[in-house]
């Protein structure tokens, strides 16, 4: 047995596949805690599990019926549109504002670093708390935002009570929460650009805009890519913010995929339908992640060659 062992070791060692061994613990962990729930969730979505059937040993298998049922479901369509709308609007504003702040605090002026540090606070506050505060601020009768509108002579707005406007309120809240994340990662990226590049550019007569587009942007490309993809994934699976601020309402108008899945499973006890919606969310995120891997990992290895 021992000799057998040694032989194997040598063989493995010869092929320099030692790394495989080190991957095994992580792989086992992933299979048990990530792989199993995903597969189990897919199986659940092909069954008909509700309050009546959850306690039965044999759950009725209904194939793609759950998915077909959702094809014409207006709430699901609304949830998908909302999820994309929310993600795009949040990412655009978070990124632009975060980038602007990162550039601004990259200048050398008094208190630049402490203020930049303080700006991370929105990111550090638990989202439930931020959401509750925004909910109070957007309240129609006594909310500070309507009070301010009244003070400057404008009509108050029913922020969280009107279907279209409620979505805007959610987006505003999430932009505020997400700016620091973009700012900090981009700031870190900015510090990796050698100052000498800017110096030589200015000697060559480049103006601010030119050095931004010719030096800053190209040098930041990997950082920007990571920030955008991570931001999209975080934003796409938004849950707590919506649950606390509107709970998907009024009348499902701010329902996103995650909250709709939660509602189906834990308010209406339609576990299989909840799993189906969760899987739709999973598949979309899966493709976004594939794009991320393709864009960055593959181009990285190509560069190295």
Partner 1 sequence: MKKILILTLIAAFMISMLFLGTSCKEEVAEEEVAEEEEVAEEEEEVAEEEVAEEKTDIKIWYYWETLMHQESLDTVISSFNASQDGITVSADYIPFADFKKQLSIGVAAEELPDLVIIDNPDHAAYAAMGIFADLTAELSSWPDLEQYYDGPLGSLTIEGKIYGIPFGSNCLALYYNEDMLESAGSEVPTNWDELKDVAEKTTTNGVVGFGISSLPNEEGTFGFLPWLWSTGATSFEINSEGGIKALTLFKDLIESGGMSKEVINWTQGDVMNQFISGNLAMMVNGPWQVPTMRSEAPDLNWNVALIPKDEVYASDLGGENFAIINNENVSKSLEFLKYAVSVEQVTEYIDKFGYIASRKDVAETQYTDDPIMQKFIEQMQYALARGPHAKWPEISNAISNAFNEVITGVADPETAAANAQTTIDSILE
Chain residues in the site for partner 1 (CB under 8 A): 1, 5-6, 8-10, 12-13, 18, 21, 24, 50-52, 54-55, 139-141, 158, 160-163, 247-253, 266-270
Please identify, using beta-carbon distances, which residue of 105 and 271 lies nearer to partner 1.
Answer: 271
| Minimum CB distance to partner 1, residue 235 (Å) | 24
Q: How far apart are CA 257 and CA 82, in angstroms?
A: 8
- As a whole number of angstroms, the distance between CA 142 and CA 12 comes to 70
Per-residue HEC secondary structure of the chain comes to: CHHHHHHHHHHHHHHCCHHHHHHHHHHHHHHHHHHHHHHHHHHHHCECCCCCCCCCCCCCECCCHHHHHHHCCHHHHHHHHHHHHHHHHHHHHHHHHHHHHHHHHHCCCCCHHHHHHHCCHHHHCCHHHHHHHHHHHCCCCCCHHHHHHHHCCCCCCCCCCCHHHHHHHHHHHHHHHHHHHHHHHHHHHHHCCCHHHHHHHHHCCCCHHHHHHHHHHHHHHHHHHHHHHHHHHHHHCCCHHHHHHCCCCCCCCCCCHHHHHHHHHHCCCCHHHHHHHHHHHHHHHHHHHHHHHHHHHHHHHHHHC
Residue 79 CA to residue 259 CA, distance in Å, equals 9
Of residues 44 and 171, the one with the C-beta less far from partner 1: 44
* Residues 6+ away with beta carbon under 8 Å from 33: none
Query: Measured from the CB atom, is 146 or 235 closer to partner 1?
Result: 146
User: Position of tokens 């509750």?
Assistant: 132
Nearer to partner 1, 122 or 250 (CB): 250
CB 160 to partner 1: min, Å? 6
Nearest distance from residue 163's CB to partner 1, in Å?
Answer: 6
- Closest to partner 1 by CB, 156 vs 222, is 156
| Cβ-based nearer residue to partner 1, 54 or 112 | 54
127/179 with CB nearer partner 1: 127
Q: How far is the CB of 250 from partner 1 (least distance, A)?
A: 4
Kindly state the smallest distance separating residue 61's Cβ from partner 1, in Å.
Answer: 18
**Least CB distance to partner 1 at residue 249 (A):** 5
**Is the Cβ of residue 140 or residue 226 nearer to partner 1 in the bound state?**
140
Do residues 225 and 296 make contact, with C-beta atoms less than 8 angstroms apart?
Answer: yes
CB 122 to partner 1: min, Å: 24
Q: Minimum distance from CB of 171 to partner 1 (Å)?
A: 19
Q: Does the bond joining 250 to the residue before it have cis omega, within 30 degrees of 0?
A: yes
């Amino acid at each position: 047995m021992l000799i057998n062992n040694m032989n194997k070791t040598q063989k493995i060692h010869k092929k320099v596949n030692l790394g495989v061994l080190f991957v095994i613990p992580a792989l086992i962990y992933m299979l048990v805690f990530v792989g199993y729930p995903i597969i189990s969730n897919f199986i659940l979505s092909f069954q008909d599990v509700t309050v009546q059937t959850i306690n039965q040993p044999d759950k009725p298998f209904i194939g793609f019926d759950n998915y077909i049922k959702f094809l014409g479901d207006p709430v699901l369509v609304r949830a998908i549109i909302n999820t994309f709308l929310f993600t795009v609007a949040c990412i655009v504003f978070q990124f632009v504002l975060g980038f602007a702040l990162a550039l601004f605090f990259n200048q050398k002026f008094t208190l630049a670093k402490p203020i930049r540090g303080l700006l991370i606070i929105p990111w550090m506050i638990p989202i439930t708390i931020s959401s509750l505060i925004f909910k109070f601020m957007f309240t129609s009768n006594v909310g500070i935002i309507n009070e301010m509108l009244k003070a400057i002579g404008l009509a108050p707005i029913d922020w969280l009570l009107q279907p279209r406007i409620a979505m805007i309120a959610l987006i505003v809240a999430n932009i505020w929460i997400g700016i620091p994340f973009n700012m900090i990662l981009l700031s870190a990226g900015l510090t990796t650009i050698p100052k000498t590049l800017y110096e030589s550019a200015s000697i060559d007569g480049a103006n601010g805009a030119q050095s931004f587009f010719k030096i800053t942007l190209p040098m930041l490309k990997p950082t920007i890519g990571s920030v955008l993809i991570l931001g999209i994934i975080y934003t796409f699976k938004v849950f707590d913010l919506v649950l606390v601020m509107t709970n998907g309402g009024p009348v499902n108008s701010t329902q996103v995929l995650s909250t709709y899945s939660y509602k189906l499973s834990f308010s209406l006890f339609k576990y299989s339908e909840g799993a189906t919606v969760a899987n739709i969310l999973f598949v979309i995120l899966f493709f976004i992640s594939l794009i991320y891997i393709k864009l960055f990992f593959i181009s990285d290895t190509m560069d190295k060659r």
